[in-house]
Every structure is written in C-alpha cells, then in structure tokens.
A and B are shown apart, each in its own frame.
Chain A
Amino acid sequence: MHVTSPVRPPLVTGAKTYADVTEDICRHVEAKPTKEWWVAFIISVVVLIYGTACVFWTWWEGLGVWGLNKTVGWAWDITNFVWWVGIGHAGTLISAILLLFRQKWRTSINRAAEAMTIFAVLCAASFILMHMGRPWMAYWALPLPNAFGSLWVNFNSPLVWDVFAISTYFSVSLVFWYIGLIPDLATIRDRARNKVSRFIYGSLAMGWNGSAKTWARYEYISLILAGLATPLVLSVHTIVSMDFATSVIPGWHTTIFPPYFVAGAIFSGFAMVQNLMLITRVVYKLEDYITLEHIESMNKVITLTGSIVGVAYLTEFFIAWYSGVEYESYAFINRATGPYWWAYATMMTCNVVSPQLFWSRAIRRSVTWTFFISVIVNIGMWFERFVIIVTSLHRDYLPSSWAMFSPTMFDIGDYIFSFGFFFTLFLLFSKFLPVVNMAEVKAVLRSSSETLPKKVAGVAKGERMTSPTYNKDVQ
C-alpha cells in the first residue's frame, strides 16, 4: 500500500492547473524582453567584450602577460577551470542523481541547473584553451596520427583523460538537456502565433507529438541517461583531481582528492544554482514553482557537501602530519601560516564555517541569507582551488626557487571574460527557452493521486492539494 505523509508540503503552490503551468512559463518566452532583462544583458555583453579583448591580448602576446613565473606555472587559469567545472556539476546532480533517487522537487529547477552546467563547462573549457597559449594547437590533445611520426598522445596522462572526460561530459549533458527540452519546445510551437517563432521552435521541437509510445521511450532513455550521467559526473571531477593527485608535488599527491573534489564541486555548484534561481524566481515570478521548500532542500545539500569538504580539509592536514613526510607537512603548515595564510583563512571561513549556519531553519528558509551564503560559498571555493594550486607550487622542494604569485590585469581580465560569457548565455537561455521543465512539473502536480481514492484525497490537512481536480472533487 502506498502511504503518503500528510505533512509533506506541496511541490508547487498556488493551486495550479496544467494550463496555468504552460501559461506561467511560456509567457516569458513569448513576451518581449523586459527592461531589466535588457539592462542585465547589456552589462553582460559589455563585460564579455572587455574580457574577450583581454583573452585576445593573452593569445596575441603569449602567456607572459599573466603573472606566472618559473615556480608558479599554474595559477588563476587552472583555478578558474576547476572552479567552473565544479559549478557545472550541480546541474547534473540535480537532473541525474536526483532522478535516480526519485526526488520530485528536482523538476522545477533541473532545466535551469542543466543550462548552468552547460555554460559553466564552456567557461571551464575556455580556460583550457587559454592556458594552452597557442589555442590553434588544441587538436594536439586529440589522438590523431600526426606529421611528426605517428607518435600518439599519452593515454597514461590524466591531462589526456581530462580531454575525454570534459568533452564527453559536455556533449552528454547537452544531449540530456535537449531531450528534456523537446516536449516543452513542442508546447511553445503549438502556441506560437507568429511565423518566426513557429519556425524556430517548430524546427527545434522536431515534430514531437507526445504519443504514449514516445513518452514511454522518453522516460526510458531519461532513466538510462541519468544512470550514465551519474558515474560520468563523478568521473569528471575525479579525473580533474587526478591532474593534481598523480603528480609528486607536496599538497597535491594525496589519495583523498577524488571524493574531496567531487563534494566540493557539488557544494559550489548548488551555491551557484541558488544564486541563479533566487534571481530567476523573482524576475519571472516563479515563486509558486521554486518554493521555499526547494531552497531549503538545496541548502541541506550545501550543508552536507560543505561538511564533507570541511572533514576533507582536516583529514588532509592530519595525514600530512601523520605521514611523517617533511615536505608534505611543510606544505600544509605553509598553507595555514605562510605568506598566503589569508587565502587559507578565507577558504576555511567561507567553506567550513558559513554553510553550518544552515543548521538554523530560519536561515535555511531565508531568501536573503541563502543568497548571501551562496555567494560566500562560491568565493570560498574559488579560494580553495587557489590555495591548492598556488600555495602548493610557490614553495616546493628547492628553497632557492621559492616565489610568490601576483595576478596581472590579464589574469583578472580573463577571469572576467568567463563571467561575461556565462551570464550572456544564461540570460539568452532564460529569455528564449522555458526556464522550468513544464512537462515534468505537470507530471508531479498531483503526484499522489494515482493511489489515493478521490474521495479521500485532499481531505487531510496539508495533503497535496495541488491538483485543481482534487479541490473540485472535494467541493
């Protein structure tokens, strides 16, 4: 027998009908862009233009324009890369892992979170191209027979694994996202009034008809794609962490890296989803779809993953001492008390202390606090990568080559580029595509009705009274 907890709050509030869902989401796609959207879009594009100029100059002049030196050969570029890849992980977690766990609250946020994944991975990939210095040689990373004798890429190297992992991750996420979009694009196509949108959404929807057979296959492949995306997303950040862990640099050469990086990725990604969704729900008036329940659930994930990250920091420190390796111990003491102590302190405060505030229900359910802490978490996670990369490199085995790193305007400008790129893409997405997965939201609108007899349904207080048909029956 199916038992539904009567205290479980509804996922969508405001007694929405199926038609209301279509209307609420499609309205923004069909309307002209608002003034706020234009302001945000123009700012993003201006930032993007400035950033593009910086990237262009980086490539034109060479990597000498960055603050790198002989000792610190990786700095902001790889920090930004890991940061953006990590942010991307939340989208896959929401759409794939929560699908496998049958968490129905994912339906309101999965579309936007997956879009965020795709754009974040693009930003990450842009740093790979940047740090190559000669991006026109990027194809050298691919296993192609070349003109220098048939010397192949080194398949033993995590850097080559990364090429495969990131490109597979990007393309599979894109496919997963698009498959989910097709039914909604068909909805927009069937509502479209003018020729242009009928053409654009019509061609994107590819003749979707919503037959029972199609839906059965759709559900089936969504499940398999989720099953594939789950180990995939874990593998991606595992491989990213192996870029470090398989080297013999003190502070990098640790086996804890894969789980620690994956937890950190989900942590920062959920914080970014919070930031984006909190703005989107206000601008598009989606408070009935992205409720405080959704925000609270995401905050719980942030607290969990933030705590895992905190435990990982402490474990790392303990093992550095316990291993008895003097280089390893020094690397960690130097992190906490050396010239970059402030970066370490920022990381610890933002990542370990701030998410613990979410143990308070009032803070967890407060929009302002959530937004604020999410920003703090993302700052902290950026510093985590900075600490791992720069403070491990700047003082290694040879004290005579110890050095400090300071960013130039091009380090900063290239980072700014990624923000311009990300927000431009996200704003275009939020204007021209449905930000909430309408088909899936409609499917959970009355989740428990299949097993509850109609006479009983909706009577108990706090029962999911989300379906208008219930209310009709009860009255």
Chain B
Amino acid sequence: MVGVYDDDEVILHAVPKLRKAGVKISEVYSPFAIHGMDDALGHPRTRIGIAAFLFGVTGCICALTLTIWTMGIDWPMIVGGKDPISIPNYIPITFELTVLFTAFGMVTVFFITNGLGPSLVNPNMFDPRSTDNKFVMAIDLKGNRMTEAEITQQLRETGAEEVNIKQF
C-alpha cells in the first residue's frame, strides 16, 4: 500500500501519528533528505561512521608502514642530514592516505548498505514521482494487523493526497 503526500512537513508529522495508531510503515521515499525522518520511523542510527574510522586507521597504519619501511629499513637513506626515519616528514603522506582510505572505504560501505550498484532502474519504485516532488510512504499490508480500509482512512486523515495499492 502506497500513500502519496504532497509536502515534507505533512509526512513528517504523519509518521509518528500513524505509528501511534499502530500502522507499521515499511519505508518513506522522498526527493530530498527530510531531517528527523529516520528518527520518526524508528530507524537505528547508521554505523557507517565506525566503518569510516576503521578505514582511516587502516590508511594511517599503511602509510606509516610504507614510509618507515622504505625510507628507514629497506634502503636507509640520509636526506638533508636528517635521520633515515624522520616521522615529521611522513606526516603529509600519512594524512593524505588516511583521508583516501577513509573516503573510499566509507563510500564503498555506503554503496553496499544501500544496495546501490549496477542497475538501470530503481528496484523499489513505488511511485516515479518520489524523486521529483512527492513524498511516498510504503506500507506492507501483510505485516500489518489492520485492514486495508483502516489504513487508508488513517493515511487520509494524516494528509495523504493519494492512496494506491501496488502488487509486488
């Protein structure tokens, strides 16, 4: 069951009302980020930051290993009268590689967790206008105890301008 809303504000207020009334909402699709929507839907906070941090640590360790091993151990070299292992000189490269690993690692995780990948169409297309100007609420009738008519009425009351049924 698909509820189509015209306004981000209306749908943001509709979500807690519907959840209170006992409607289980599968997901909300919108053309832009609505702040507070994930909280309203009760989604857990994303853990992508932890992944990013771990990638950053990996990058940092790789960079230090590379510079210290090549410059100080594999072929020790004195440049400009400095110690073969002079950490301050390696900080720029360590920083760059930390950023590189974090960014690419995090973005890879982002693609995987969101299921973004080679695909010509949107596999979760409930309404094509959800990338343009409409805010779409998807409700799985199988997972809900309420009847279709009850949910329809609830959606209408909270401001949905269209309620459609879609088979998958």
Contact = CB atoms under 8 A, between A and B. Distances in A.
Interface in B72-115: 74-75, 77, 79-80, 82, 86, 89-90, 92-93, 95-97, 99-100, 102-104, 106-107, 110-111, 113-115
Contacts of A175: 103-104, 107
Nearest to B104: A175
A225 interface: yes
B165 interface: no
A132 interface: no
Nearest to B77: A154
Instruction: Give the residue among A143, A190, A211, A225 with the most B Cβ atoms within 10 A.
Output: A211
A451 to B, nearest CB: 11
Contact of B97 (A164, A214, A450): A164
A450 B110 CA distance: 28
A211 B124 contact: yes
A156 interface: yes
Given A152-B74, A209-B124, A164 B29 contact: no
A168 B99 contact: yes
Given A155-B71, A160-B93, A206 B117 contact: yes
A235 B103 contact: no
Interface residues on B, range: 35 or more
B29 A210 contact: yes
B119 A212 contact: no
B120 A199 contact: yes
Interface stretch (B16-24, B44-52, B142-150): B44-52
A294 to B, nearest CB: 19
Contact of B31 (A187, A219, A449): A187
A208 B122 contact: yes
A213 B32 contact: no
A151 B131 contact: no
B125 interface: yes
A207 B116 contact: yes
Contact of A442 (B31, B38, B122, B128): B31
Contacts of A224: 48-49, 52, 102, 106
A48 B102 CA distance: 36
Interface stretch (A17-25, A81-89, A372-380): A17-25
B100 A172 contact: yes
B83 to A, nearest CB: 10
Given A143-B66, A168-B96, A183 B32 contact: yes
Interface string A233-260: 0010001000000000000000000000
Interface in B128-155: 128-133
A19 to B, nearest CB: 4
A164 B99 CA distance: 11
A140 to B, nearest CB: 14
A20 to B, nearest CB: 9
Contacts of A17: 133
Contacts of B121: 189, 202, 207
A156 B116 contact: no
Interface string A432-451: 00000011101100100110
A190 B131 contact: yes
Interface of A: 17-19, 22, 143, 149-158, 160-161, 164-165, 168, 171-172, 175-176, 179, 182-183, 186-187, 189-191, 198-199, 202-203, 205-221, 224-225, 228, 231-232, 235, 239, 438-440, 442-443, 446, 449-450, 469
The 7 A-B residue pairs whose C-beta atoms are closest, nearest first, are A207-B119, A18-B133, A202-B120, A152-B70, A216-B38, A19-B133, A215-B33
17 contacts: A19-B133, A22-B31, A143-B70, A152-B70, A154-B77, A157-B79, A160-B93, A190-B122, A202-B119, A211-B28, A212-B30, A212-B43, A215-B32, A215-B33, A218-B110, A221-B48, A439-B33
